[in-house]
Chains A and B, each alone.
Chain A
């Protein structure tokens, strides 16, 4: 079946511009996560959505970052006034929830380059 998809796959933007990254989770998955991975680094948690609960935003690095999940499905990560240090691969993952909530299925990522 279809996996997690993300768009765009690559995004080059100028410093100071806003960007939106999209994630389409696996159908029926209740949990959705955003991470970012900088070159040579591990994954940094950003935000977590679980069903209709309030999202866990504790990983967002600044108030320039925000995310929404509409209708319990598609999610958009928005970065306002991008900075060069925002350059990274942004990964989205979804999980089935319940007992399998920690088994995450990752999308291919969006590579963001801020020039």
Chain B
């Protein structure tokens, strides 16, 4: 079974709005990562958060990690049409990905 599961499966927002997606996992981890996949650039690593971190920022991205709940969230602020993509979370080891959240940002 998949280690990481993203929620929601699909999200549609207007440009400029914030987008929040969540990820749940099953076993203890050393780190959790978020990836983005779109047809133009393939699968791209966005950000990694280690198990001893609770929050991490990178540009317009903010990731939180709650190891007690085995969950993480990815917040994209001031979204742009170019953020339209599928977003996957993955945990360490063999990186078992979930099915992703498909984000559509409407101009």
Contacts and interface: CB of A to CB of B under 8 A. Distances in A.
Most A Cβ at <10 Å: residue of B43, B48, B92? B43
Given A102-B31, A102-B33, A103-B48, A45 B95 contact: yes
A56 interface: yes
Interface in B43-86: 43-45, 48
Contact of B42 (A33, A58, A109): A109
A72 B84 CA distance: 36
Contacts of B94: 33, 45, 48, 56, 58-59
Interface string A25-60: 000000001010000111111001000000010110
B2 interface: yes
B33 A103 contact: yes
Interface string B21-51: 0000000001101010000001111001000
Taking residues whose C-beta sits less than 8 angstroms from the other chain, chain B's interface range is: 20 to 34
Contact of B88 (A43, A45, A56, A103): A43
A93 B30 CA distance: 20
Contacts of B43: 43, 91, 93, 106
Given A102-B31, A102-B92, A42 B45 contact: no
Contacts of B88: 42-43
Nearest to B99: A42
Interface of B: 2, 4, 30-31, 33, 35, 42-45, 48, 88, 90, 92, 94-100
28 contacts: A33-B95, A35-B95, A40-B99, A41-B99, A42-B2, A42-B4, A42-B96, A42-B99, A43-B97, A44-B96, A45-B94, A45-B95, A45-B96, A48-B94, A56-B94, A58-B94, A91-B42, A102-B31, A102-B92, A102-B95, A103-B45, A104-B33, A104-B95, A105-B45, A106-B35, A106-B44, A106-B45, A107-B42
